[in-house]
């Protein structure tokens, strides 16, 4: 099923040469969009005056780094070959890499950012989810990954984001509430009052 789905997407890639440039650019450099989304999440949280939202925005960034750290031992343990090293007669738009394929680092990052931002702002989170799904698709489209690689990455990133938030929500919110009473307040919140939730 995994290989069949990859082949269907690769056939679509062969039939859509006009998409190659955009897909390659997003698959390679779309990480910058997710960094921008994290900054937007912090900005929205800061302007809300809700310390818990600021905590969620900070956690989203931290959880993304944690998810990537968790992903690395899995990548090395599974050591799955990339599609272009095992399949023939496929269109390869990706820059070839000696790294293993499962789970996808890009999808792991995207999944963590998307779920982390859903906690901060539903509207921004939906945008991030769409961006994450598009990142996962383009990574398969350029033949850098199998579908299972990106699905596992999205899932891993999302799970790490949720678990991290559940673990740090209370202590981080109380810490930030205390800091909001200091000179750091302008960095944390811009609204006229501070709310814990």
How many degrees, rounded to 5, is the angle at CA 69 between CA 9 and CA 50?
Answer: 95
| Cβ-proximal residues to 95 (8 Å cutoff; 6+ apart), any chain | 28
Domains of the chain: which residue ranges?
A: 2-188
Please compute the mean of the pLDDT values over residues 59-69 and round it to a whole number: 95
Stretch 48-77: mean pLDDT: 91
User: In this structure, is the dihedral angle defined by the CA atoms of residues 185, 188, 189 and 194, taken in order, positive or negative?
Assistant: negative
Is residue 195's pLDDT more than 90?
no
Mean pLDDT of 177-191: 66
**Rounded to 5 degrees, what angle do the CA atoms 114, 155, 17 make?**
75
The yes-or-no verdict on residue 120 having pLDDT over 60 is yes
Which CATH class, in words, describes the domain spanning 2-188?
Answer: mainly alpha
Over its C-alpha atoms, the chain yields an Rg (Å, rounded) of 19
pTM score, two decimals?
Answer: 0.86
């Amino acid at each position: 099923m995994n290989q069949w789905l990859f082949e269907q997407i690769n056939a679509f890639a062969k039939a859509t040469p006009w998409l190659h440039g955009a897909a390659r650019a997003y698959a390679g450099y779309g990480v910058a969009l997710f960094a921008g989304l994290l900054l937007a999440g912090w900005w929205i949280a800061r302007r809300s005056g809700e310390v818990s939202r600021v905590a969620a925005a900070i956690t989203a960034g931290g959880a993304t780094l944690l998810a990537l750290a968790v992903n690395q031992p899995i990548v090395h343990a599974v050591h799955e070959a990339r599609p272009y090293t095992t399949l023939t007669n496929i269109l390869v738009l990706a820059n070839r890499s000696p790294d293993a394929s499962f789970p996808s680092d890009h999808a792991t990052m995207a999944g963590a950012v998307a779920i982390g931002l859903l906690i901060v702002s539903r509207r921004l989170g939906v945008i991030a989810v769409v961006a994450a799904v598009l990142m996962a698709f383009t990574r398969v489209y350029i033949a850098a990954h199998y579908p299972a690689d990106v699905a596992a990455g999205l899932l891993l990133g999302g799970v790490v984001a949720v678990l991290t938030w559940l673990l740090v929500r209370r202590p981080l919110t109380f810490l930030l509430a205390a800091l909001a009473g200091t000179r750091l307040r302008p960095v944390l919140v811009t609204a006229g009052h501070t709310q814990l939730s």
